[in-house]
Structure formats: structure tokens, C-alpha cells
A = this chain, B = another copy of it.
Amino acid sequence: MSDVLRVAIAGLGTVGAETMRVLRDNADLLTARAGRPIQVVAVSARDRAKDRGVDLGGVAWHDNAAELAGRDDVDVVAELIGGSEGIAKDLVEAALGSGKSVVTANKALVAHHGTALGALAEVNGVALAYESAVAGGIPIIKTMREGLSANRIERVYGILNGTCNYILTVMRETGRPFADVLADAQELGYAEADPAFDIDGVDAAHKLAILSSIAFGTTVDFDAIDIQGIRPISPVDLEYAQELGYRIKLLGIAEQTEAGVQQRVKPCMVPMTAQIAQVDGVFNAVAAEGSSVGPTLSYGRGAGAGPTASAVIADLVDIAADRKVPVFGVPGAALSAPRAAGIESLSGSYYIRLMVIDRPGVLADLTAVFRDERVSVEALIQSGRDPGEIVPVVLTTHETEDAAIRRSVAKIADLEAVTEEPRVLRIEAI
């Protein structure tokens, strides 16, 4: 073990540059905390000429990131490139395979290949650290793997995508439609030019897959996640949520059920008084419920150069201090393949919003469907009267099975008076 922890950084976007800056600016403090200096000795990025606001003097430059894995003078590779395949994956595999620890902010990579990469790290006796891949600056990986190690985790859920949370927050506060708010978010830099990854729930699902693996001691099972994004949410749904005492949040939820591990990313209703309902704007929060500790919640910035660099450096300090943790909390051999439970195995309460032609008999038709499917209606709101026009009708149900809701909604969608696809949201018991 060298006296200095020698780091190579692959990818000098805002996170990579900020990581370099903080490592230098806080060098004395970090050395005291880590027990030895942490020094960047090599970097790789696409454009050497670009001004990133950090001095690259004395640091080896590689146009090809893969070369970082071959350097004998590197102890740790920080992979800040991104993407589940290609250069990032090749680099991480090569680095682990050559006995180098890896720190990565790459949620897609860990969600898709975490189990295999974890095994590779274990075989080579090195770390694969990914604190920055989940919920940015919130040290939730450390919290779950170490801070809550006494607990059997019963459920983990969270607001895992700041873009979606920002959009939902602004829609609620302003009543403006999804597309408008998304366009603003793109201008403000809170959403990408191609926003699909965020707003369709894929990014949140990557993070959920990782949290689920740690929570339940299972191999990473991204493909089992039931994913739905926030595009279908209308301002009218946010208004009804408010009226009913809820907030609409895009939550990633992984829970142990009798049928197995159920993982989902979906917009849902949460009671307005729940701690997580208060998390607004670009912030993230992750709640873990443990057998001894009960409910916990960790809150902070889930993205951005500063918070992400904070997590990258925390991983580097752990490696410098030789603090070792099994990649997913237990040795790879102890990870079980999760028995995946489908969403149809759930029961719960539901919010259903319909657009119907306001005419006699419509409510009777609707309620007949629910009666036939043995779904118990808790509340029914038909706010305005406007004979012959299209008006919203909102129902909430008592606890029922997901399958019964699906059947009911399919029948209702076929009713002549129902003019658009019914909007169905689970009311999560949180």
C-alpha cells in the first residue's frame, strides 16, 4: 500500500472536474480524515483543450480511458463516464481485473452489471464503490450497508430522480401542464435535452435496483422492475391529490412481500403528512424501514457536481482508510437470486381519475363495474356539473387487489361515456 492513494479519473465533466477541485482544495482535511493523501495522478477525457477550471499540470493525460486501467502507478480508477455498456464497462472490468479499486457514479452500469462486477471486485480483493450512483450526495449506500447493518430491511423507497420531483413540484405549485414545466426544466438545466431517461423512470429504476439488492441481500435485478414515468400526470391529478390530502411523487419502492421482492417505479399518492411528501424540488430522499430501527429517511441533493463529487470522494476516503465492505453488503456467495413478485401481487388503495361525458347514468355504470369486481369505493368526486360536456370523475378505493383494479379499469375504459384512458395511481401506505 502506497503512502499516497493514487487516483485516475475517467471523465472530466462537471463531476470529474469538481472532484479534482475538492481533492485539491480540501487536501489537508482529507488527508487527516483518510489517514493518507489522496492524489489524482492521471485523467482521461474527450477534449484535452477544454477549459474545465482545474489545473491539469502534473497529471498524466489519456485520450483513451481504457489505458488508465493499465497504469502501474494507479490504485483506484474513478469512472465518471456513464453508460451501462462500452467504454465505461470495459474500463471498470479492466481496472478491477488488474487489481485496482473502482469508484463509479454510473448507476446504469451497476444496475445492469453490478452482480458480475461485484464478483470481479471480490475475486481481485478490491473495492467497487458506487455511493455517488444513488441519490447523489446522500450517503444512502453507506447508511444501508453499514449504518443499518443490524436490521432486516423490510422496505426501501425513495424520491430517486430530482428532475421528476422538480417537475411534479412546479406543476403542483403553478398548475401548469407537464410539457411546459419540462421545457422550463430543460432551460434551467434540471432536465436533459433528451429527458426520456429521467421522466420515464429509468434513471430512478437503476437506483432502485441497487438499493433493493442491498436491502434484501439479492443479486441486482433491474429487469424485474415495473417502471412507469410521470408523463401521464396532469395538473388536475395534482389538484385532486391536494384535495384528498395527498401529494403525487415518483417513488421507487422495493419491498418484501409474501410473493417475493416487489420493485416498482411509479408515480403514486403519498399522505401529505408523510415525511417524504415534504421533499420538493430537485431534492432526493430515501426511506429505509428496518426491523430494529423502524422508519428512517435520508434527505439531500441527488445530483449536481458538488453532491456527486462529495459521494465520489467519500468513497475514495474509505478506500484510502482501508475500510472494506462487501459490494452489496454481504459476500457475493451469500447473495440470493431474488424471487421477483409482480405488481399484480400487491394490494392497496387506488386513485382513479376518469374523463367522462356528463350525462345521466354514467355514475351508475361506473359503480356497477366496481361492484362486479368487488372493489370497494371509498370516495367519489364529481366536482363540476356540465351536462353533455367532458368532466373529471375521481374515485378512491378501499384496500383491494391490484388485479381487480386492472380488470375494473379495463372495463371502465370501454364504457362509451369514458373519453380517455383512466389515470390510476396507487395510494402508498407510507
Question: Interface residues, chain A, CB within 8 Å of chain B?
Answer: 18, 22, 26, 29-30, 32-35, 131, 137-139, 142-143, 145-152, 217, 275, 278-279, 290-301, 306-307, 309-314, 317-318, 321-326, 329-331, 334
Q: A26-B150, A26-B152, A323-B323 are in contact. Are A275 and B294 (CB under 8 A)?
A: no
**Highest count of chain B CB atoms <10 Å: which of A22, A293, A309, A310:** A293
Contact A298 B299 (CB under 8 A): yes
Contact B150 A309 (CB under 8 A): yes
Contact B29 A152 (CB under 8 A): yes
Contact B292 A150 (CB under 8 A): no
Given contacts A33-B149, A33-B326, 7 further A-B contacts (CB under 8 A): A137-B290, A147-B314, A149-B317, A150-B310, A275-B278, A278-B278, A297-B298
Contact A307 B292 (CB under 8 A): yes
Q: How far is the CA of A35 from the CA of B35 in the complex (A)?
A: 24
Give the chain B neighbours of A300 by CB distance below 8 A: 293-297
Contact A317 B150 (CB under 8 A): yes
Q: Which residue of B lies closest to A142 (CB)?
A: B147
Give the chain B neighbours of A290 by CB distance below 8 A: 137, 310
Q: A293-B301, A307-B292, A310-B292 are in contact. Are A139 and B150 (CB under 8 A)?
A: no
Contact B294 A301 (CB under 8 A): yes
Tallying the copies of this chain within the complex gives: 2
Give, as a whole number of angstroms, the nearest-CB distance from A114 to chain B.
18
Q: How far is the CA of A260 from the CA of B54 in the complex (A)?
A: 31
Contact B324 A307 (CB under 8 A): no
Q: How far is the CA of A317 from the CA of B329 in the complex (A)?
A: 11
Give the chain B neighbours of A301 by CB distance below 8 A: 293-295
Q: A307-B292, A310-B292 are in contact. Are A150 and B331 (CB under 8 A)?
A: no
Q: Which residue of B lies closest to A280 (CB)?
A: B273
Contact A137 B294 (CB under 8 A): yes
Give the chain B neighbours of A26 by CB distance below 8 A: 150, 152, 291
- Could you pull out 6 A-B pairs where Cβ atoms are within 8 angstroms? A32-B330, A33-B149, A142-B147, A150-B317, A292-B307, A298-B298
Q: Which residue of B lies closest to A331 (CB)?
A: B32
Contact B314 A137 (CB under 8 A): no
Q: Which residue of B lies closest to A288 (CB)?
A: B300
Q: How far is the CA of A329 from the CA of B203 in the complex (A)?
A: 33
Contact A32 B334 (CB under 8 A): yes
Contact A314 B278 (CB under 8 A): no
Q: How far is the CA of A222 from the CA of B324 in the complex (A)?
A: 33
Give, as a whole number of angstroms, the nearest-CB distance from A341 to chain B.
21
Q: How far is the CA of A32 from the CA of B331 in the complex (A)?
A: 7
Q: A146-B318, A146-B323, A323-B324 are in contact. Are A137 and B309 (CB under 8 A)?
A: no
